[in-house]
Amino acid sequence: MALLEPQVSALPAFAQKFLSRDKQLFIDGEFVDAVSGKTFPVFNPATGEILAKVAEGDAADIDLAVKAARRAFESGPWRSMAPAERARLIYKLADKFEERLEDLALLESLDNGKPLAVARVADVPMSIENLRYMAGWATKIVGSSIPIPGEFHAYTRREPIGVAGQIIPWNFPLLMLAWKIGPALAAGCTIVLKPAEQTPLSALLVAELAAEVGFPKGVINIVPGYGETAGARIAAHPDVDKVAFTGSTEVGKIIVRAATGNLKKVTLELGGKSPNVIFADANIQEAIAGAAFGIFFNMGQCCTAGSRLFVERSVFDEVTQGVAAAAKAMNVGSGLDARTDIGPLVSDEQLDRVTGYIQSGISEGARALSGGVRAGDKGYFVEPTVLVDTKPDMKIMREEIFGPVVAATPFDDPNEILAAANDTVFGLAAGVWTKDVSKAHKVAAGLRAGTVWVNCYNVFDPALPFGGFKQSGWGREMSSNAIDCYTETKSVVVKL
Ligand code: NAP
Ligand code: MG
């Protein structure tokens, strides 16, 4: 692991201009200050310095945004717009993302800390693909005609659910926004979206792009603010029809309780503690690379992070040392530095959390083959860490760390690996590495997880359903399943 010396170079002109302007809320097609007049600071995780001040939306602003979204849903041009016209607007937004790829990637890297090179090839292009995929659905949301006994004509209609509240996290700010707004817009819903307090910047550029594209006023409202105030109001609001949340399992449970007032529909995409299982008959070099990618991608701040590595004992040392060697070969530095493999964690809070987990693991007897400490003393950097000598009841084996920290455990009996891999309250994703086709499919079937990757990791596509078993969530994102989560089905029965 090499900690790169910070390079001091001026920010590109776009970022200077964007950051120097007041960052306001986007409600009913207008950029406005918060009702309270308050702002909150957004930090650069590579330096700990303030990047921008953003208007702080709270309950009062959410109420205005919901009012605008309700009006746009009930009476605006959105309601009567042909699905093909809705699709065209979503395609146009995707085109804007493409035109502004560099600007979006730059904001994402500055705000979240992730390598700019990654934002360019992953976050922004995947967001574009998601929007385009969902735009295609707008014209394909259809009911069916259903034969029933008697003189009746019976059919179903799929109607938009209404006003959708969307609360997203900071690990993939733009991509999570795209996952949320794509299906909601395709279905004909209107939106009140709260980005994470740590990373509101790309969402605010999207608000500008949505206004340029010509979405009718009130269809997309973007209200940065804190979870406990703005987020809580979305979840509890009596006039929000559905809330879609991505974040921690702990807050997911708060959302569910808050939603009971009007029984709004709830979808949740929550945490994980995903097992990555390597059998001795795997292509070991590919498995090592896959295990490293599975945990270190996005500094481990992935809900799908392969944070529990199970390796058949005969190849355990080879694999864990290989992953540790990959960790040691990584450059840790600012996301804007082209040499960087690992950027900072998103916040000082996450830095404390992740280093706290590492210390807890080591104090309970785990050993670090690589990393194990903070990197440098400025910014929120943590060395990519491989922990061995783990026990199933350690906190590092049970709780989501959300950092570049993998806990590795050997196994002897391939028949017992499913029990160990499934020994978690989570069920988001899993990996399996083997050349034995039969074993691969059997293990894939036995893993209690929403996504299983065989001989690969973190492969996503907008056509694939994504979501969690157990406490990793409710419902699915992407694919036609996401459209289902933004529509209601109505049965119409006509006496002939
Ligand atoms: P979090 O609190 O769950 O944040 C996710 C979103 O929920 C943010 O927009 C947040 O607002 C909002 N929120 C927080 N409290 C709320 C409430 N009472 N009502 C409504 N909305 C609320 O996550 P975090 O605190 O940033 O991170 C903590 C841990 O969560 C991480 O270490 C990680 O384990 C997990 N996490 C998981 C994912 C994932 O993709 N599954 C993503 C992020 C974090 P604020 O921005 O103001 O907090
Ligand atoms: Mg929080």
The pLDDT score that the predictor gives to residue 22 is 86
**Distance, CA 267 to ligand 1 centroid (Å)?**
15
Q: Which of 93, 110, 112 is nearest to 102 (CA)?
A: 110
Domain boundaries, the chain: 12-270+472-493, 275-462
Question: In this predicted structure, what is the pLDDT of residue 49?
Answer: 92
Residue 294 has pLDDT above 70, yes or no: yes
Instruction: Kindly report the protein residue whose alpha carbon is nearest to atom 44 of ligand 1.
Output: 247
Residue 8 has pLDDT above 90, yes or no: no
Residue with tokens 């509890």: 236
Q: Which ligand is nearest to the CA of 473?
A: 1
Could you tell me the distance, in angstroms and rounded to a whole number, from the CA of residue 200 to the centre of ligand 1?
Answer: 13
**Structure confidence by residue, pLDDT tens digits, 87-144:** 999 999 999 999 999 999 999 999 999 999 999 999 999 999 999 999 999 999 999 9
3-class secondary-structure state, position 106: helix
- Give dist(CA 480, CA 431) in Å, integer: 24
Give the residue whose CA is nearest to atom 43 of ligand 1.
247
Half-sphere exposure in the Cβ direction for 220 (13 Å, CA) = 29
DSSP lists the bridge partners of residue 7 as none
pLDDT of residue 16: 93
Confidence tier at 6 by pLDDT (50, 70, 90): confident
Compute, in angstroms, the gap from residue 439 CA to the centroid of ligand 1: 37
Mean pLDDT, range 161-185, rounded to an integer: 98
Q: Supply the mean pLDDT for the chain.
A: 97
CATH class for the region spanning 12-270+472-493: alpha beta
Q: What is the mean pLDDT of residues 11-39?
A: 95
Q: Is the pTM of this model over 0.85?
A: yes
CB 360 within 8 A of CB 30: no
Q: 231-259: buried (b, 16+ CB within 10 Å) or exposed (e) per residue?
A: bbbbbbbeebbbbbbbbbbebbebbeebb
Residues known to be catalytic: 269, 303
CA of 227 relative to ligand 2 center, distance in Å: 6
Q: Report pLDDT digits (tens) over 379-420.
A: 999 999 999 999 999 999 999 999 999 999 999 998 899 999
**Among residues of the chain, what percentage have pLDDT more than 70?**
100
Quick one: how far is CA 433 from the chain centroid? Answer: 25
Contact 155, 203 (CB under 8 A): no
Instruction: Please state the rounded mean pLDDT for residues 297-318.
Output: 98
The atom of ligand 1 lying closest to the CA of 167 is 9
Confidence of residue 1 (pLDDT cuts 50, 70, 90): confident
Taking only the tens place, the pLDDT of each residue in 197-242 is: 999 999 999 999 999 999 999 999 999 999 999 999 999 999 999 9
Check: CATH 3.40.309.10 for 275-462? yes
pLDDT in tens, 432-470: 999 999 999 999 999 999 999 999 999 999 999 999 999
- 282 Cβ neighbours under 8 A, 6+ residues apart: 315, 433, 434, 435, 455
- State which amino acid sits at residue 29: G
Query: Which residues approach ligand 1 with their CB closer than 6 A?
Result: 167-171, 194, 196-197, 226-228, 231-232, 235, 246-248, 251, 254-255, 270-271, 303, 353, 400, 402
Greatest distance between any 2 Cα atoms in the chain: 79
